[in-house]
Amino acid sequence: MLRNVLLRTAASPFWISQIEWWGRRSGLTRRFVAGESFEEALPVIRGLQDEGLLTTLDQLGEDTRDLSAARRAADKYIELLRRLNVESIPSTLSIKLSQLGLAIDPNFCRDLLGSILAEAEKVDNFVTVDMESSAYTESTLEVYRWALDRFGTARVGIVLQAYLFRTEADLRALSALGCHIRLCKGAYREPRTVAFPRKSDVNRNYRKLVRVLFESPAYPEVATHDERLIRYVQRLARERKPRDSWEFQMLFGIRRSRQRSLARAGYRVRVYVPFGTQWAPYFTRRLAERPANLVFLLRHLGRR
């Protein structure tokens, strides 16, 4: 019930504006968001890398309804790739296609993604196409397949969500191609017609899908904070994949000590680092995703 309320909040312009006001005033969003600009996020990124952690950067923004805004977002990602190259920061990018105008014009979005990937090719970087709500799943995969044909598995990867019924078929098809696939549980409010409604079913499907990944030529990116799933993947990987051919992925601000301990144990661990001014929908989904995040929030408020 609480999760659904928070996810509805993440889709409400009114409540998002309220969260933005409160978040800036309280400063609490800094637990989950590295800053409102690349300059603010830069010390965070360097600090994570100094601890032996890999990073992928998300310049926050989604559901763009204006083509000029979509183009500006693409230009910012191109500039970010150049900055990373100049600063010698070995960080990849993660991009939501709705930020590039997917809901307005998929072909325009595709062309913008192509310009970003062309720059990534110049500076030898990598881009992951994030997955959003199920309303965007098919169009996201269509654009991704186009990008994959043009730029290849070494340049662009995809996110798939274990809570969707369709994901097994998508994962089997893409993993056979050797794609980089980030497997997450999913963080959007979905109808029962397209997604598993129960957490236990999502966990069961996640285990099934991660096994398919490890038995394929894909590069698995295991995105989870669930300790039982982490240990399951560790056992699975010992039998099927050397440590340099897959990685754990976790969100900035969540289970920080576990991120470090896995890295010290010799696992590749990549931290998803969001930054930017449009952080409220992302922040609200993080609260909905794990009760521990909401507990942290309430404790912080109690100390103010």
Q: Is 183 exposed, middle or buried (0-12, 13-18, 19+ CB in 10 A)?
A: buried
Question: pLDDT tens-digit profile of 34-57?
Answer: 998 999 999 999 999 999 999 999
Helix (H, G, I), strand (E, B) or coil at 116: helix
Query: Read out DSSP for 147-164?
Result: HHHHH-TTTEEEEEETTB
Task: Name, in order, each residue with C-beta under 8 angstroms of 149's C-beta and a sequence gap of 6 or more.
Answer: none
Task: Name, in order, each residue with C-beta under 8 angstroms of 87's C-beta and a sequence gap of 6 or more.
Answer: 42
Six-digit token string for 235: 């056992």
Instruction: Give me the mean pLDDT over the 90-113 stretch.
Output: 97
Please pick, among 130, 155, 270, 285, the residue that the annotation labels catalytic.
130
Cα–Cα distances (Å) from 142 to 104, 139, 168, 241, 250, in that order, read 15, 5, 17, 29, 26
Are residues 162 and 155 in contact, defined by beta-carbon separation less than 8 angstroms?
A: no
Angstrom distance (rounded) from CA 177 to CA 118: 21
pLDDT at residue 226, rounded to an integer:
94
User: What would the 3-class secondary structure string for 190-217 be?
Assistant: CCCCCECCCHHHHHHHHHHHHHHHHCCC
Question: pLDDT tens-digit profile of 15-31?
Answer: 455 555 455 555 566 77
- Structurally, at CATH architecture level, domain 2-10+33-303 sits in Alpha-Beta Barrel (3.20)
Please pick, among 58, 155, 170, 182, the residue that the annotation labels catalytic.
182
Percent of the chain with pLDDT over 90: 75
pLDDT at residue 7, rounded to an integer:
44
8 pLDDT above the threshold of 80:
no
pTM score above 0.85: yes
Annotation marks residue 82 as catalytic: no
Angstrom distance (rounded) from CA 228 to CA 231: 5
Annotation marks residue 130 as catalytic: yes
Question: pLDDT tens-digit profile of 188-234?
Answer: 889 999 999 999 999 999 999 999 999 999 999 999 999 999 999 99
Instruction: Give me the mean pLDDT over the 126-134 stretch.
Output: 97
For the chain, give the mean pLDDT.
88
